[in-house]
């Protein structure tokens, strides 16, 4: 399985992934039930300006067939210092650690791009997303519209990484074989990171 930036030619694979989602997964990701996505929407999701966004897919190749199992996306605010995280994993791959791998990879790239704060908005019954973000150090707060906002201070994460006694040293070693250069991600959608099979 590979973690890599999404590419324009991924549109058919993205659509296939979307069509495999349960109604619950669609509601958790898009906050509404969508029956289909027009071509214009799919183009928007697959054509990324990597100066303003990060979009990483988990790709599985089996018997000459490729599939996208999940997507992690960070939309960076105009100030370049904060961004909104969103992610979705295909139903049959949920609960196997893939979401953690994708989010971790997105956060590593965000750090290299100088993003200091990442937040995610989640529905209150989206237990998997709430548990994942909490496990990764996001601080959760209950908003007035009955959603939860998770906030992660990447500045603090970066400082911890620089400390040799930090627990994040282990996390850094786990991603040392990944292609995490933000410049390479921005310049080419060919960079890939091989990860341990699920």
Euclidean distance between CA atoms 60 and 142, whole angstroms: 36
User: By the 8 A CB rule, do 85 and 103 touch?
Assistant: yes
Reported as a single tens digit per residue, the pLDDT across 68-79 is: 999 999 999 999
- Among residues 182, 184, 193, 108, the alpha carbon closest in space to that of 152 is found at 108
Q: What domains can be seen in the chain, in order of their start residue?
A: 2-184 (3.40.630.30)
pTM of the model: 0.76
Q: Residue 196: its pLDDT value, please?
A: 46
Question: SS3 for 48-105, per residue?
Answer: CCCCCEEEEEEEEEECCEEEEEEEEEEEECCCCCEEEEEEEECHHHCCCCHHHHHHHH
- The pairing of beta strand 117-122 with beta strand 82-89: parallel
pLDDT mean across residues, the chain = 79
Q: What is the pLDDT of residue 121?
A: 93
174-195 per-position pLDDT tens digit: 334 344 445 555 544 445 555 5
3-state secondary structure of 165: coil
Segment 98-123 shows an average pLDDT of 94
In the sheet that 2-5 helps form, which strands lie side by side, from edge to edge? Answer: 139-142, 148-153, 117-122, 82-89, 65-76, 53-62, 2-5, 193-194
């Amino acid at each position: 399985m590979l973690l890599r930036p999404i590419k324009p030619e991924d549109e058919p694979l993205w659509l296939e992934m979307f069509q495999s989602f349960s109604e619950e997964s669609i509601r958790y990701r898009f906050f509404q039930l969508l029956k289909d996505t027009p071509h214009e929407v799919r183009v928007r999701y697959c054509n990324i300006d990597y100066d303003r966004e990060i979009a990483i897919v988990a790709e599985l190749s089996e018997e000459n067939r490729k599939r996208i199992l999940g997507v992690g996306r960070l939309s960076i605010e105009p100030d370049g210092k904060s961004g909104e995280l969103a992610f979705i994993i295909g139903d049959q791959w949920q609960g196997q650690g893939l979401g953690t791998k994708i989010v971790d990879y997105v956060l590593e790239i965000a750090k290299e791009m100088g993003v200091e704060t990442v937040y995610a908005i989640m529905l209150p019954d989206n237990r998997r997303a709430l548990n994942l973000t909490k496990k990764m150090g996001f601080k959760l707060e209950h908003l007035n519209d009955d959603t939860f906002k998770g906030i992660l201070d990447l500045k603090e994460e970066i400082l911890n990484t620089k400390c040799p006694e930090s627990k994040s040293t282990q996390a850094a070693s786990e991603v040392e074989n990944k292609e995490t250069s933000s410049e390479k991600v921005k310049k080419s959608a060919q960079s890939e990171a091989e990860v341990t099979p699920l």
